[in-house]
Structure 1
Amino acid sequence: MAKSKIGENAFYQPGASSIEGMPTTLQFFHGHPRIMLRPHWHAQVEVNYIMRGHVHYRMGGHELTLSAGQIGLFWGGQPHQMNESSRDSIYAGAHLPLVHFFRMRLPAAVSAMLMGGTTMLTSQTDAADRENFPRWFHYVTSGEEAKAQHAVEELLLRIQRIFMEPYETVSSGKLDGAATETGAPSPAVVKICDFIAANFLEEVDATDIADAAGLHPKYAMNLFRKSTGMTLIKYLTLLRLSHAQAKLMHSGDSILQVAMDSGFGSVSAFNKAFRSTAGMPPSDFRRDTRASATV
């Protein structure tokens, strides 16, 4: 029997300073993809460009292999796990908070499909991508604001180009054609995302969010749901859960303290929301995650 390569791979170790702990921050990455010992989630759209080798993902409703020369986009709010990464694999990409995502001009159906668990996949890549993705990472991590802003703007333009060329959607193990209708995102949705990103750890509700965007609460809720496929409160809760996830993994705070620090009004509300996303209560998640980290 061939020797397993799993032990030869590095494992992903999420932390309070990682993508889970900063759900409103745009982060770039470049390197060898690390295997995840368990599913995780975060409140950003994830962009993966496979430069070499291949990786395999278990998503909420489907599994997916991405190979060299492919770009995949998916909504990180669904629990997902990279359970296979070839020894030679190299990838690059970014985690896009919705406030950046909705500043792009994309096909009208794209955001709803992404939030619904669909992965967008393209093989229309070239030598420019092999040069640009690593360069964007280096620009963003250079400490120079002008370079970082340039990288973000170029990445957003590159994502928009995905939907100007042939691409596929992957959902529940099926490949389908994609919609071609285009439409500009509503400026009000961007304002909503801006306000939530700045205040998700505070005591805010749908009325506060709508007021910040200058909208009637009912209209704001309908507009956001139409644009994203989810409710305002679901998105607000997801940001809080992402923050709480990181604290559970790497702090010694009590479950009550994690709930309060993450914007939940009570531990019972936190437990209910956490179980709905993770499939287990926060205490079990903390125990299992720490046990996995010792493997």
Structure 2
Amino acid sequence: MDHRVYYEPPANGVERLPTELQLFHAAPLIMRGPHWHAQVEVNFIVRGWAHYKMSGHEVTFSEGDLALFWGGQPHWLDDGSDDLIYAGGHLPLVHFFRLRLPPDVQARLMQGQTLVTHATDASDPVNFARWNNYARSGDPIKVSLAVDELLLRIERIRFSPYSLLPETQAVDDKGELDHHTSPIVVRICEYIADNFREEIDSIDIAVAADIHPKYAMTVFKKSTGMTLNDYINLMRLSYAQAMLMRDVSSVLTIAMDSGFGSLSAFNKAFRKIAGTSPSDFRRDVRGRASAAVSASARQEQPRL
């Protein structure tokens, strides 16, 4: 019999905040199924090992590994060692495209590949623990330092051997950066982050970024592998997913509050990424939560 406790929607609002960087340092729960979020995920394995099912490939991270992958595609932590401890965070695209990473790496991550490096050292466990504490301290200066130091640590990956999976060969980084398109993508992401719950289109985004609409669509597609509409919908879906987990509002209310113009458009977009309807998703989440509470109560019953 499987006695493990499985992942249930967290109470800390990680998925509810698709535009904010969230850090963690914990013993993760094995997940019953895939989830997604509109951020790049950073994983550092402090102890043990973790196995993920990604969209199109599987990967095992071992102690000392540092990995990045795009959380906008369904992914599933389906197994791990009993002593697993991992650290890291959910990195919004507005931060991700500020990173001085090779442009091809950014694009390949957005298209579903996983970056992993074994080139870590004894300072990483200490640093990830400190960044998590700073991020949760409530001190704005500490929070800012945690974000800045994490981003610098990620940028240093380019100077050591790393791989992009499912391909296994190391990447030859020639140090070529695209200094022109990255700031544009940052401006686009910032505008979408502030306005995704409203009715916006490529013209609104282009005006905000001070570029031509066709160029905005081309640059964003080249950098992320997604259209502007795809990304806007993903932001809306990530927000709606969290509302479905924790809010008692109707599916229609959540659809409209998330920025979808109609219930049918919401249902179609949600089913495309989740493989189920919003109503079935909510019913499944709540059913799992009730089962977990019942199992916990049974375990706490005193033995006679």
Instruction: State whether TM-score is above 0.5.
Output: yes
Whether 1:286 and 2:282 are equivalent positions in the alignment is: yes
Alignment of 1:121-270 (within 5 A): 121-171=116-166, 174-181=167-174, 182-183=176-177, 184=179, 186-270=182-266
How does 1:4-153 map onto structure 2 within 5 Å? 6-8=2-4, 10-15=5-10, 17-153=12-148
CA distance in 1, matches of 2:13, 2:217: 30
Q: 1:15: Cα distance to partner?
A: 4.6
TM-score by structure 2 length?
0.91
Look up the SS of the partner of 1:186 in the other structure.
helix
Distance 2:23 2:17 in 1: 13
Name the CA shift for 1:42/1:175 in 2 (closer, same or farther; >3 Å): same
**Within 1, Cα distance between the matches of 2:261 and 2:187?**
24
Q: Identity rate of aligned residues, in percent?
A: 57
Q: Displacement of 1:248 after TM fit?
A: 1.3
Q: CA deviation at 1:72?
A: 1.0
Query: Match for 1:221: what amino acid?
Result: M
Paired letter, 1:203: E
CA drift at 1:290: 1.9
Structure 2 counterpart SS, 1:28 = strand
Larger Rg over CA atoms: 2
Deviates more, 1:139-148 or 1:116-125: 139-148
- Asked if 1 retains the 8 angstrom alpha-carbon contact of 2:18 and 2:239, the reply is yes
Q: Distance in 2 between matches of 1:62 and 1:189?
A: 27
Q: CA deviation at 1:147?
A: 1.3
How well do the aligned residues superpose, as a CA RMSD in angstroms? 1.4
Q: TM-score, normalised by structure 1?
A: 0.94
**Poorly superposed stretches of 4+, deviation over 6 Å:** none
Instruction: Note if contact 1:249-1:289 (Cα within 8 Å) is conserved in structure 2.
Output: yes
Q: Cα deviation per residue 1:183-221 (whole Å; 9 max; x = unaligned)?
A: 135211111111111111111111111111111111111
Gap regions ≥5 residues in structure 1: none
Q: Secondary structure, in 3 states, of the residue corresponding to 1:111? A: helix
Amino acid corresponding to residue 246 of structure 2 in structure 1: H
AA in 1 matched with 2:227 = T
Q: How many residues align?
A: 288
Does the 8 Å CA contact 1:56/1:84 hold for their aligned counterparts? Answer: yes
| Distance in 1 of aligned mates of 2:69 and 2:183 | 23
Distance in structure 2 (CA, Å) of the matches to 1:197 and 1:217: 18
